[in-house]
Amino acid sequence: MSDENFLFVYGTLRRGHDGRMARWLAERSRLIGLALAAGRLYRVADYPGFVPGDGGQVVGDLLALADVAATLAALDDYEECSDLFPAPHEYRRERIMVDGPDGAVTAWTYIYALPASGLALIDNGDFKA
């Protein structure tokens, strides 16, 4: 499977979360397993924001998407970072390297795009913990 099919989710889109979009995404993806990404996780509200970089690890789920374009378009709307929403956007979609169960892969993810100063750090990098 191509890296272009992978999505890394670290918050309310992870498996086991009871949100509507988490259930929707679970129906449109296959769980590869737990994955780690370099960066820090912050509590924005009742959801987290991921800021990539050195100095920490963020725990998430690595998913394989069947219909990549349609799924990502719907998630861009959900994350309010599509062209339908005025800038500045709270999130932006990028491809990053993640360590999955079978090694390093490139995956799409949603990065927190606003300043994280003043947000509470999730020390263990795991929103579900």
Instruction: Evaluate whether 5 touches 64 at the Cβ level (below 8 Å).
Output: yes
Positive or negative, the CA dihedral 27, 39, 112, 95 is negative
Which domains are assigned to the chain? 3-118 (3.10.490.10)
pLDDT in tens, 17-58: 989 999 999 999 999 999 999 999 999 999 999 999 988 999
The whole-number pLDDT of residue 55 equals: 86
Q: Give the tokens for residue 14.
A: 């992870």
Give the 3-state secondary structure of residue 70: helix
Instruction: Evaluate whether 125 touches 59 at the Cβ level (below 8 Å).
Output: yes
3-class secondary structure for 72-104?
HHHHHHHCCCCCCCCCCCCEEEEEEEEEECCEE
Instruction: Evaluate whether 94 touches 108 at the Cβ level (below 8 Å).
Output: yes
pLDDT in tens, 52-95: 998 899 999 999 999 999 999 999 999 999 999 999 999 999 99
- Give this prediction's pTM: 0.95
Amino acid identity for residue 20 in this structure:
R
